[in-house]
Amino acid sequence: MDSRSQREPKPHEHPEKGPTEWQEGRHGVGPWEGEWPADARYDEELLRNGDRRNVVDEYRYWSLEAIKADLDTRRHPFHVAIENFENDMNIGTVVRTANAFVAQAVHIVGRRRWNRRGAMVTDRYQHIVHHESVADLAEYAKENDLAIVAVDNTPGSVPLETAELPERCLLLFGQEGPGVTEQAQDAAVMTCSIAQFGSTRSINAGVAAGIAMHAWIRQHADLGGAWKS
């Protein structure tokens, strides 16, 4: 069966309202009715008890391993990195957005521990790589032919709205407040800024990451491969 095929849902299987951060659990489908599929990607426990996870309909009843394996066949050639020297609370949001845009991997620089609540369990489907320092991240990028693109509103930065992002790149974000460190900017081939028109100096790092990832999607992704809701 094709990985993107979808059987006709039974009346009781239409997802309920949601999901959102505030209404988690109000989505999913009940136990499978009728003869179980023979496809090895399906999880027997989910078939038996229902699937209440926050996954697209095409992945209903699939095991976590099967979903991750399928995502690995469709990942885009960009990576995302965020510095974690002050235990940033935005990392979970970055991971969740990276999963939505199927980034190759999310790199966390600095502290290994981070708050996973904002990821809404999407870290289970996303490759997470840890680096002790920016120098380690830069070496990884060099070995994997990735151009580091820092995203920060600093003097001399290129507007993200007009920048041509490299197809094979690593989008690098700093902490909320201080932004990208000097070492990270030195390792980057370019620094991009996001146009702002209000009174605040900067926007949330998780929001900035989403904007930058979507900029890459608009320039390089095959939109015909996106899930249709």
Here the tokens at position 68 are 């991750």
Is residue 15 within 8 A of residue 51, CB to CB? The reply is no
Residue 57: is it exposed, middle or buried by C-beta count within 10 angstroms (0-12/13-18/19+)?
A: middle
Which residue stretches of the chain have pLDDT < 50? 1-23, 25
Task: Catalogue all structural domains in the chain, each as residue range(s) with its CATH number.
Answer: 38-74 (no CATH), 75-222 (3.40.1280.10)
* The predicted structure's pLDDT at residue 203: 86
* The predicted structure's pLDDT at residue 2: 45
Q: What is the 3-state secondary structure (H, E, C) of 42-97?
A: ECHHHHHHCECCCCCHHHCCECHHHHHHHHHCCCECEEEEEEECCCCCCHHHHHHH
* The predicted structure's pLDDT at residue 166: 97
* The predicted structure's pLDDT at residue 178: 77
**Buried-state track 112-149, b at ≥16 Cβ within 10 A, e below 16:** eebeeebbbbbbebbbbebbeebeebbebbeeeebbbb
In degrees, to the nearest 5, what angle opens at C-alpha 205 toward C-alphas 200 and 207?
A: 85
